[in-house]
Structure formats: C-alpha cells, structure tokens
Amino acid sequence: MVASEAYRLADPLDVERLAEPGAYGKPGSLRVYGRSKLLNILFARELARRMEGSGVVVNAMCPGPVATELLREQWGLGRLGTVMSHTPVVRTPEQGARQALRLAVDEEFEAKSGGFYGSVPGSGPSRDERLARDVWDRSAHLVGLR
C-alpha cells in the first residue's frame, strides 16, 4: 500500500464522520491528503491482521518525495516544487518505486506484515490497532458490506 509520511499532518480522525465531505480549501488540502494516507496505513494494518496465517503479506510504505505533479498542486509550492524536482532531494519515480519493489520481492519481508516503512517508523494513530479495526468496520458499513 503506497502511503506517505504526510499521514502525520492529518487532523484527528473521527471514524463516524468518514463519509462526510468537509470544506478545507487549498490550505487544508495537505491535512486531507495526510488523512487519506493515514487511512491507507490503517487499511494495510487491518488487512494484514485479517490475512494473518494465510501467507498473504500486507504493508504500507512511503516512497519519499518524488518528482510528480503533486508538489505543483500544493498551496504555495508551485514554483518551489518545480525547482526541487530537479535536485537530488526529490527522487525520480524510479527511485521512489524502489521501496515498494523491495517490500514485494525481498525475502526479508516475506513474513513481515502490517508494517509501515518510511524514513522513520510509524507513530501515533498509524499504530492504533483499534482505530484500524474501527475504520475497517465503518468503511464496510458505508459501502454495505457486513
């Protein structure tokens, strides 16, 4: 699951309000992006728990800053994103894909499931197993699954 360190920018998650659209504007878009990445991590954690013992391994990862159009879309980062995408600080798409490929093919990870792999270990709500279950259950309810 491709996530992002930006999950750390998410507002506190209210599971009961997952389906409610919010007004956030350009300044709040990074918080909403962070929430979507937190949800990716929680989904991977809960799916890993549900697949335990099946031989299926599920993890989330952050590719780091990658030269995509995303930086250009962020409030106040248009020109800076363009400049940074031509420096070693920002990875090429090929470099960004390395962590995902490593998780998929490296024997070191064939039995490690439910983790988040980024530049620093996951913390806070990304490690909350109860929150992961609650998000899963609420999402299933919202789409009509038991």
Q: Between 115 and 96, where is the model more confident?
A: 115
- What is the rounded average pLDDT for all residues in the chain? 86
What is the rounded CA–CA span in Å between residue 40 and residue 136? 11
Classify the phi-psi angles of 23: left when phi > 0, otherwise alpha if psi is within -120 to 50, otherwise beta.
beta
129-142 vs 25-51: helix axis angle to the nearest 10?
A: 100
- Count: domains in the chain: 1
- Assessment of whether the complete model's pTM goes beyond 0.95: no
Residue 45: give the domain boundaries.
Answer: 5-142
Query: Which CATH number does the domain housing residue 66 bear?
Result: 3.40.50.720
pLDDT digits (tens, 9 = 90+) for 37-85: 999 999 999 999 999 999 999 999 999 888 776 655 554 555 665 566 6
Token pair, residue 62, equals 């952050």
Catalytically active residues are: 33
